[in-house]
A = this chain, B = another copy of it.
Amino acid sequence: MEERVGEAEPEQQQEEEQVVNPWTVSAKGGGKIDYDKLIDQFGCQRIDQQLVDRIHRLTGRPPHVFLRRGVFFAHRDLNEILDAYERGDKFYLYTGRGPSSEALHLGHLIPFMFTKYLQDVFKVPLVVQLTDDEKCMWKNLTVEESQRLARENAKDIIACGFDISKTFIFSDFDFIGGAFYKNMVKVGKCVTYNKVVGIFGFTGEDHIGKVSFPPVQAVPSFPSSFPHLFSGQDNLRCLIPCAIDQDPYFRMTRDVAPRIGYHKPALIESSFFPALQGETGKMSASDPNSAIYVTDAAKEIKNKINRYAFSGGQDSVEKHRELGANLEVDIPFKYLSFFLDDDDKLEEIRKEYGSGRMLTGEVKQLLVEVLTEMVERHRRARAAVTDEMVDAFMAVRPLPNMFS
């Protein structure tokens, strides 16, 4: 979608809808994303308590904090995946990343932390697509730089704890060809240019590399794209954990799938992790102070949260004691709701901070502790990821016990 800039008429501004696609996330009038409306717009379903309970029951494990707190809040056909699982049928997970920056921020980790949980509780294989071709085209990186970033990002992904006996990570530049390319052609045949303009908002000035890309992101949804993993299992279902801005790719994929003989992939979709400055979009890689990076030292984390994290607390202690914090806009509370696993503790903060008995400083202090511990743990894990391990995860190989 073209980013709208500059001198829109006031009437137009009022009319302006929220825009969510892989390249632009902007709310109506610069406010918060309306996720209910997004669900309507996109035609997906909300994940309700019943569905969370069903996952709990089927896996015999407590639902991940991102499920309990509604971070992953929308889905497509998740019940069909669970029906299949309940019958004893298998499925596989597919997620990915466009390797555009060296250091990941917390928002980047969310789908991978959640995907690791899904792999653990369902005991299923995972394919991770590194779209170095996409980033080479969109960010005007060289092929070599895109591939270097892909390997760097792979280390962060591996550091999330994926099981090497169930996980295949691939770079598009290295892997595309053969059965994968054949599926790209099959998808490309089913989608008109007008259709991708409608879905992605391409214009005539966009280069044809961009127009060629949607099939690349589509085809890992089809098991036959990975003959070394799923040979003869064309009926295997696919579940895609991702942020909801990727939904357009998979709307297109789901439209095409039955026409070329595959199941529609199922989706489980997250909201956006807010910037430190407030919940008006995604974090921005171009503003280092808008996000906590996995490379940030403890001191930086503390400084960023204390200086930049938008507070819903009141201007004076007196007023705060009287009115309490506005939790709807408070970033420290929001971040804790993503990463503080202890439900009782979070409930306590909601009450104490919301009523004004707890101060912003105390909440920020707790958040600094939680994030520092998490980031330090990730950094230790990442430091232990060798180039040989990256090669091993990215080797085109069978995964003999991927369903056990």
Give A contacts to B, CB under 8 Å: 133, 136-137, 140, 143, 173-178, 181-182, 185-186, 188-197, 202-212, 214-215
Q: Are A193 and B173 in contact (CB under 8 A)?
A: no
Q: A339 CA to B404 CA in the complex, in Å?
A: 67
Q: Are B185 and A133 in contact (CB under 8 A)?
A: yes
Q: Chain B contacts of A196 at CB under 8 A? A: 208
Q: Are A212 and B188 in contact (CB under 8 A)?
A: yes
Given A137-B185, A174-B178: A208 touches B215 (CB 8 Å cut-off) = yes
Q: A292 CA to B176 CA in the complex, in Å?
A: 40
Interchain nearest-CB distance for A171 vs B (Å): 11
For A133, the closest partner residue in chain B by CB is B185
Of the candidates B174, B193, B206, the one whose C-beta lies within 8 Å of that of A205 is: B193
Main DSSP-derived SS at the A contact region: helix
For A194, the closest partner residue in chain B by CB is B204
Given A174-B178, A185-B143: A193 touches B206 (CB 8 Å cut-off) = yes
Q: Chain B contacts of A202 at CB under 8 A? A: 193
Interchain nearest-CB distance for A76 vs B (Å): 22
Q: Are B177 and A192 in contact (CB under 8 A)?
A: no
Interchain nearest-CB distance for A213 vs B (Å): 9
Of the candidates B140, B178, B204, the one whose C-beta lies within 8 Å of that of A189 is: B140
For A138, the closest partner residue in chain B by CB is B189
Q: Chain B contacts of A209 at CB under 8 A? A: 185, 188-189, 191, 215
Q: Chain B contacts of A189 at CB under 8 A? A: 136-137, 140, 207, 209
Q: Are A207 and B178 in contact (CB under 8 A)?
A: no
Q: A206 CA to B143 CA in the complex, in Å?
A: 29
Q: Are A193 and B204 in contact (CB under 8 A)?
A: yes
Of the candidates B140, B191, B192, B208, the one whose C-beta lies within 8 Å of that of A193 is: B208
Q: A199 CA to B80 CA in the complex, in Å?
A: 46
For A143, the closest partner residue in chain B by CB is B182
Q: A140 CA to B210 CA in the complex, in Å?
A: 23
Q: Chain B contacts of A177 at CB under 8 A? A: 175-178, 181
Q: A119 CA to B391 CA in the complex, in Å?
A: 42
Q: A214 CA to B208 CA in the complex, in Å?
A: 9
Q: Chain B contacts of A208 at CB under 8 A? A: 188, 191-193, 195-196, 211-212, 214-215
Beyond contacts A192-B208, A193-B211: 8 other A-B pairs, Cβ-Cβ < 8 A, are A137-B188, A173-B178, A173-B182, A173-B185, A191-B209, A192-B206, A211-B212, A212-B212
Q: Chain B contacts of A182 at CB under 8 A? A: 143, 173
Supply 26 A–B pairs (Cβ within 8 Å), ascending by A.
A133-B181, A133-B185, A136-B185, A143-B182, A143-B185, A173-B178, A173-B182, A174-B178, A177-B181, A185-B209, A188-B207, A188-B208, A188-B209, A189-B209, A190-B207, A191-B207, A191-B208, A192-B205, A192-B206, A193-B204, A193-B207, A193-B208, A197-B204, A211-B211, A211-B212, A212-B215
For A214, the closest partner residue in chain B by CB is B208
Interchain nearest-CB distance for A247 vs B (Å): 19
Given A176-B176, A177-B177: A194 touches B185 (CB 8 Å cut-off) = no
Q: A192 CA to B177 CA in the complex, in Å?
A: 24
For A147, the closest partner residue in chain B by CB is B182
For A206, the closest partner residue in chain B by CB is B193
Q: Chain B contacts of A174 at CB under 8 A? A: 178
